[in-house]
Amino acid sequence: MSSTEMREQSIFLTGATGAVGSELLRNLAARKGLTINVLVRRTDREPCERVKTLLGDLDVTAKLNVLEGDVCAGPSLGLDNAAVGSLQRETTHIIHAAGSTSFGLALPDARAANVWGSRNVLDFARSCASLECGAFLSTVYVSGKRRGDFAESDYGDAGHGFVNSYEQSKAEMEEMVREAMSELPLILVRLSIVVGDSATGRVSRFNAIHHAIRLFYTGLAPMIPGEPAGPVDMVSSDFVAAGVLQLLENGPSPGVFHLAAGRESCSSLEELVDETMSALARFRPEWRKRSVEKPLIVDLDTYELFVRSVEETGNPVLQGATRSIRTFAYQLAHPKVFETERAAAALAWGGISPQPSLAFYPRVIKYCLESNWGMRPC
Amino acid sequence: MTMSSSSHAGIQSIAEYVPAKVASVGELHERGLLRGSPDTLRSFGFETVHLAGEESNIDMAIAAAEKVLEESEIDREEIGMILYAAALNSSSTLWDGNGGSPNGSVLQLESVPDLFKYPTSIIQTELDLPNASVVGINQLGCASIFAALRMARALIVAEDDLKSVLCVSADKFPAGRHRDLAYNIVSDGACAALVCRGADRNRIVECTQVTKGALWDSEEIENEIIAAYFPTAKALVERTLAKAGLKMDDIALIVPHNVALRSWEILGRLIGCPADRIYTENIARVGHTIGSDNLLNLRCATESGRIEKGDYLLLFTFGYGSNWACMIVQH
């Protein structure tokens, strides 16, 4: 999407303070001739202040409006009537990136964030007179506990169940968006695990994967469930940002797309574990002295026996470590490959394609170490 | 007893000393001797432990050693060495383990010469083993006896005139202290083994050990030690099998240390050994006797008829320090 093509366009962006949303915001904000209306919740900090922090010293050339609101605050999204009216007239594109990516929420809470919030954004989309495309961000893990290939034309868990409430709430969100596709120009963009910037390794928000790396580092992760040869799909944040914007502008609508490493660029679980240990030793040589053993890749039954034992001990540190891993690691025990044909075709002309996971993953580990997992400015 | 002039060494005889006094998990809890939940410890397979009374670690060591000497009917003059393996630092002193030590110390130090009074010398003279030189082995936690057996084998192979080595291990837990360590319950006890040139049973095929010195502070980084336990144990067992040219299917029985049954369920899965080939019968009844578990279990398994001549047995243990030790013997 060139700056020329985006001229006169007005993008309504939710979730701009999230891991993916912040990458999208930075990407869009550096373009000319574009209006970006960003919906930001008030936390303990002012919305404008939060956005300013995210943008840092970026040269903002787009027209940027920060609107205080909340996708979960009903059809008005927490905005006053005048603001809603203006957005309804002006908005040509919607990127709905807001939601909870927490794997540990109770299902009602996950639904509140990911289903009901999306319903409000859908209602808002219906009211936009000039809407050209609305992109709803989802996850490839709406596939739940399926195994094997998962195509962009596939939906949901196919009765296999979900690993966590996040996956289930996103699958329910997709059902709602799919129904609306008959009346609205919408796309669903399913993201793989976003780990950081491919060039710098920078992580805008640390998630379960980064916590797992930390547990590897501290030696508190003796085992993870999975199959050594099972595929692990990870993508960089810059690929995702470029891909979402390209699909928003040029992706066939309606449609479902996977922004994933896919068969060609994913790694095996064993390769990932090996690279994690290798990179930790390479970037922090003194870490070798700790003699941390490589975590074992074990079958699910063995892992569950270990988790149950840890739970019985009541040991808060080990419980925290296993709970942190188990929220996502059960996915590793249900290996699958995410097919990316549609996305690859739509992104090809822009020269956008995922890098092999292991090409940039070490840089993310380096960033984790240097920033002490976000505790230290880097 | 006569031995051949073979250069191989084996564990010819084993004896143990387990104090008569028994306490249940519930009783330990009532007496304030458990840090953790008795229910958790029971679910991990523990029921009772043995507690020493007035007897010291040296008394227990002598009792076990006297038993093995008598049962083996060995000529005491044949014993060329005593390897005394102690897990607790206090066990390598003359401290009796009945309390009264100043905070942080492991012995009642009345004078500097006390530091030169060693249990191993007392064991030698009490047992009347005039030809036995003595060596003390410690600082390997519960893996100390494995180091003793390994050194005994190596010395017998290396020194032509050394025919028999007496390995002894004894530990008495400090009185009044919590007896659960890393979700295991500790018993007092001792064991003794005669490692002999050309032994007609329990030929020591392979001995291995991994030490992770970074994990030396068992109190401060207990969680890291627990987390390191399984991957390191699996790697060591596999390495030992490979060195011996064997596979897990070749092992007739694993002779374990008496840590939580649950941990053996997990480790058994990791190393591909079904539960019925792990001798866990003593975990509930005896608990973890620090350094004496494996030899005690080897003797019990032999007496119960679980082992046949020629069977390969795999012994494994973990000791603070942190040390993982493994041994394969052929019965």
A324 pLDDT band, cuts 50/70/90, is: confident
d(CA A351, CA B50): 72
Alpha-helical segments (H) within chain B: 25-30, 38-43, 57-72, 119-126, 144-158, 222-244, 261-271, 281-286, 293-303
Chain B residues inside the 8 Å CB shell of A299: 269
Any B CB within 8 A of A221 CB: yes
Residue B150 makes CB contacts below 8 A (sequence gap 6+) with B204, B207, B209, B325, B327
- The C-alpha torsion from B95 through B99 and B105 to B107, rounded to 10°, is -20
Distances (CA, A) of A305 to A235, A298, A329, B266: 31, 11, 15, 7
Candidate from B227, B231, B266 with C-beta closest to A309: B266
SS3 A214: helix
A5 pLDDT band, cuts 50/70/90, is: very low
Helix pair angle (A208-218, A316-329), 10° resolution? 130
> In the prediction, which pLDDT does B219 show?
84
DSSP state of B113: G
DSSP state of A11: E
Any B CB within 8 A of A311 CB: no
Residue with tokens 């961000």: A137
> In the prediction, which pLDDT does B97 show?
56
CA-nearest residue of chain B to A290?
B214
Per the DSSP assignment, residues forming a β-bridge with B169 are B85, B191
> In the prediction, which pLDDT does A155 show?
94
Residue environment code for B46-61, b if the CB has 16+ CB neighbours within 10 A, otherwise e: bbbbbbbeebbbbbbb
A305 pLDDT band, cuts 50/70/90, is: very high
Interface test with B, best of A270, A292, A307 (most B CBs within 10 A): A292
What are the pLDDT digits (tens) for A106-130? 999 999 999 999 999 999 999 999 9
Residue B14 makes CB contacts below 8 A (sequence gap 6+) with B68, B191, B192, B193, B194, B295, B296, B298, B299, B302
> In the prediction, which pLDDT does B101 show?
52
The H or E element spanning position A195 is strand A193-196
For residue B156, give both structure tokens.
């017998």
d(CA B265, CA B55): 34
For A30-38, what is the mean pLDDT? 92
Alpha-helical segments (H) within chain A: 19-29, 47-55, 81-90, 107-111, 117-126, 165-180, 208-218, 237-250, 262-265, 269-283, 300-313, 316-329, 341-348, 357-370
Pairwise CB contact (< 8 Å): B226 & A223: no
B104 pLDDT band, cuts 50/70/90, is: very low
Pairwise CB contact (< 8 Å): A301 & B269: yes
| Average pLDDT of chain A to the nearest whole number | 92
Residue B159 has pLDDT above 50, yes or no: yes
What's the gap in Å between the CA of A1 and the closest CA on chain B?
A: 49
d(CA A245, CA A27): 9
Candidate from B44, B215, B226 with C-beta closest to A318: B226
d(CA B25, CA B179): 10
- The C-alpha torsion from A192 through A194 and A195 to A201, rounded to 10°, is 130
Share of chain A above pLDDT 70, in %: 98
Pairwise CB contact (< 8 Å): A294 & B44: no
CB-based burial label for B189 (10 Å; 0-12, 13-18, 19+): buried
Pairwise CB contact (< 8 Å): A293 & B36: no
Q: Answer whether B75's CB lies under 8 Å from B218's CB.
A: no
Pairwise CB contact (< 8 Å): A306 & B215: no
Residue B107 makes CB contacts below 8 A (sequence gap 6+) with B90, B93, B94, B95, B101, B114
For B59-65, what is the mean pLDDT? 96
Between A236 and A104, the more confident residue is A236
Q: Answer whether A69's CB lies under 8 Å from A87's CB.
A: no
pTM for the model: 0.88
A250 pLDDT band, cuts 50/70/90, is: confident
Candidate from A298, A314, A318 with C-beta closest to B270: A298
Pairwise CB contact (< 8 Å): B43 & A312: yes
Residue A226: left (phi > 0), alpha (psi -120 to 50), or beta? left
How many other C-beta atoms are found inside a 10 Å radius of the C-beta of residue B186? 25
For residue B324, give both structure tokens.
């993982």
Pairwise CB contact (< 8 Å): A222 & B265: no
Distances (CA, A) of B126 to B12, B192, B194: 22, 15, 17
Phi, psi of B167 (to 5 degrees): -100, 130
Residue environment code for A193-216, b if the CB has 16+ CB neighbours within 10 A, otherwise e: bbbbbbebbbbbbbbbbbbbbbbb
Pairwise CB contact (< 8 Å): B270 & A296: yes
d(CA A155, CA A134): 19
DSSP state of B69: H
Residue with tokens 């939580």: B260
Chain B residues inside the 8 Å CB shell of A218: 224
A183 pLDDT band, cuts 50/70/90, is: very high
Pairwise CB contact (< 8 Å): B230 & A312: no
Q: How many CB pairs under 8 A join A and B?
A: 69
